[in-house]
Structure 1
Amino acid sequence: MPSGTHEQPAPEKADQEMTETEPEKPGDTQTEKVNGEAPEAKEDKIPNKVESTEKEREKDAEAKGAETEPAESQKDETKPAEPEAPESKKEDVKPAETNGNAVEPGSREDDVPSTILEKGVIYFFFRSRVNVDHPEDVNDVARSYMVMRPIPLDAKLGDGPIGDEGNCRLLALPKKVLPKSGKDKFVTFVEKCKTSFANLKESFMTGSEYETKTAGTKHTPPVTPLAEGVYAITSTGRESHLAYIINIPAEIGELQKDFGLKQRGSFVTSVKNPEQPPLGNQNVPPGPEYPQDIIDEFRGLRWKPLEPKFLDYDHAQFLMIGEDYDKATEQRPKDERENKAAPEEEMDKLEGEDEIRIKHLKGDDAVFTDLGISSQEFPKVSTTW
């Protein structure tokens, strides 16, 4: 576990992307939902009124005799058509409510390993330097990023895109590459937490142009998707780990390897106490505004094993140290005694479900489908520069 004595490379100076995010507008989604449900509530009452009217007519028909039966029969044949319209409208609303969400909560049995603190889908991106539309190596990259989309621990992945729950995290990697071994110790920042795919598209993914007095118009390229996969934050008690498995591309290439990605990889992770001063000459944003109960958990120490709750604050900082994938997926003796699945087994299940989901979403285009963007607006997933 990292301590205050670890030497850590100072993150590079934050680029302009660190200030690009915009405030979310959660109210828009809520308004749409209310407006969508109101007509349905009114329509539910219509069938009840029709049924009541028909019963009264039947009683009148019995009292008047058989001569009125044909007339009443004709009315009966035409009236039931009225309540059918509300029923068809209900069916049209249902797909909008589900939002095509592939996440199926409650589908796992209660044998989820206690070592897994969080799991979900992870995306990797990079942004080229200003005016560089065709990068040739990492030197042409301004910043790389990870986007975490957590899902419930008892959930499985079914068909369709990942629903937009507004719980994504945008993480910035100032070093641009991921740690490859225990010698690499890189700090990562939470640039934006609890954000939506829609907000990421508007404030992070798109490119922009701006004017300068000396160089004229400058162009900031849109982000380039690097990879997609599944992840888990695990704990062995004394250490925390971030493990991942890549599904897009099916086989990583030169491009992914240059960024430190592996088909299966993991890191030892420790979150930084914001009350401790930054290491070296780091130019970092203000620390996260943790509540006092979280601050107290550090007990005055500089570092603490990472837990998901620490990542739900903007500007949270955590250290990643390269390691072997197997170390992040070790099973605790307690889980073994209780016949719970090993962390590696749960990761394999999630990987398999995500792989099937991707195939049904036209392969690599699943990245764009999940994020709700057009594949024509952004570079394709590639394995070479």
Structure 2
Amino acid sequence: MAEELERGHVFFCYRPRVDVGRARGPADVQRFYMIVRPDRRAVFRRIIIGRKRLPDPRAHERTWGLVDLVTGDPERLEDELDPRQYRTKTRGPRTEPPGRPAGEGIYAIVRHVNHTHLAYGLELPASPGPVQRDLDIAREASFVVMVKNPDVGPPTGLGPRGSRKPAYPPRLRAEFSGRRFIELDPPELLDHPGAEIVLVGAALDVGRELGITFDPEHETPESAAFFSELGLERDVHPLAPLLTGDWA
């Protein structure tokens, strides 16, 4: 049986490429994010996921993740997903489209034997569609998760802040003890922007593998945590990916 270290809500969202009015598939995705909020702490951690999709558990794929934003203010997080306009010298004004919610559910970070897992169960959309299939957001899945020692090797460069090292306090820095990677224990390792993780696809049947259950609630568009917890503005962010699983 696994030892549960943390549980909370997980949110998946993507932002289309600049000046893309409507994303029609993965080729139109600029960034893919996973946001985790623990139940017992008022903190949101936004993680950029490499490859712009989750790793496939069936193929035991691996991909990088970068914690790029940590905040206790949901309004700030929501603002970060809003559309932006900026001007370039060569192309003039450009528009960065608003983020699209692509799924929400429950997650758990657990210790299993000698490693840690991040597992989740999806609550919305009720019936996963093309968006979830293309981004490998399964109805439930687990990943072995490791944290990279910021003092060993170059940063992954997943974002403009990819070279920023996490400001771990001495207590957490001591966890590495010269190792290149460590388990995600304690989960507070994710509380520091610049933290880099590796996700390795492990299993699609979380209960069978880890012995834990999520009992996802039957969320509705009215009760979705994207709106009640993050305060997502319905008139700004296209909701089809979250509600019907269709690209937008």
Q: Is the structural similarity TM-score above 0.5?
A: yes
Identity, % of aligned positions: 30
Number of matched pairs: 240
State the match for 1:170 in structure 2. Answer: 46
Give the alignment's TM-score, normalised by structure 1.
Answer: 0.58
Question: Can you list the C-alpha shifts for 1:249-283, whole angstroms capped at 9, x where unaligned?
Answer: 00111111100110011111011111111378888
The answer to whether the 8 A contact 1:169-1:194 is kept is yes
| Structure 2 partner of 1:180 | 56
Unaligned runs of 5+ residues in structure 1 are: 1-112, 153-164, 332-341
Structure 1 residue 285: Cα displacement: 2.0
Distance 1:292 1:366 in 2: 35
In structure 2, the residue matched to 1:254 is 130
1:196 aligns with 2:84: no
* Correspondence for 2:228: 369
Matched position secondary structure for 1:371: coil
**Deviations 1:321-356 (CA, angstroms, capped at 9, x unpaired):** 01113467646xxxxxxxxxx522xx22xx2xx32x
Where 2:152 maps in the other structure, the secondary structure is coil
* Contiguous gaps of at least 5 residues in structure 2: none
Aligned: 1:128 with 2:4: no
More strand by share: 2
Matches within 5 A, 1:300-379: 300-307=178-185, 308-326=187-205, 330=209, 342-344=211-213, 347-348=214-215, 351=216, 354-355=217-218, 358-359=219-220, 362=222, 366-379=225-238
Residue 135 of structure 1 deviates from its aligned partner by: 1.1
Alpha-carbon distance in 2 for matches of 1:210, 1:280: 26
TM-score by length of 2: 0.88
Greater share of helix: 1
The offset of 1:362, in angstroms, is 2.4
Per chain length, whose mean CA-contact separation is higher, i.e. which structure has more relative contact order (CA < 8 Å, sep 6+)?
2
Q: Secondary structure at the match of 1:297?
A: coil
Letter paired with 2:106: V
| AA matched with 2:9 | V
Specify the alignment match of 1:142 in structure 2: 30
Cα deviation for residue 219 of structure 1 reads 0.5
RMSD: 2.3
Q: Which residue of 2 aligns with 1:297?
A: 175
Deviation at 1:184, TM superposition (A): 1.7
SS at match of 1:146: strand
**Structure-2 change in CA distance of 1:210 and 1:280 (3 Å):** closer
User: Distance between the aligned counterparts of 1:259 and 1:194, measured in 2?
Assistant: 25
Distance of 2:155 and 2:90 partners within structure 1: 35
Bigger radius of gyration: 1
